[in-house]
Amino acid sequence: MAGMKVCLGELTLLDMAVEMRLDYRIGRRIEQGSQGDDIILEGRKSYEFTLSGKMKMDQLRLLQKEVARGEPQFQSDFGEYKVAVKAIHYRADSGEVSIELVEDIA
């Protein structure tokens, strides 16, 4: 199966595997004298993405420059999100890259 085309700021990355994680913020309410507790979905959510694929060293340098500019826009089939780059892992011998993104919730 072919990977996804994604954009991170002005950088376009082809054939990337994209994993998406969606976390919901929940709260727990315990009332004295009642049996058990109530879990409350507070409505806020945040996305995390892990991109993996291959890139050449010159693309890695462009990626590092894009990250240095600040919080880039991440665009994919999942939508468009303002993100912070949490981590980049690169293997020079194979060109394999893994990029962790966290949605910037304003």
pLDDT in tens, the chain (106 residues): 468 999 999 999 999 999 999 988 776 666 666 666 666 666 678 899 999 999 999 999 999 999 998 878 999 999 999 999 999 999 999 999 999 999 987 6
| Residue 101 three-state SS | strand
| Number of domains the chain is built from | 1
The domain in which residue 77 lies consists of 4-103
Residue type, 37: D
Model confidence pTM above 0.85: no
Residue by residue, DSSP assigns 14-82 as EEEEEEEEEEEEEEEE--TTSSS-EEEEEEEEEEEEEEEEE--HHHHHHHHHHHHTSS-EEEETTEEEE
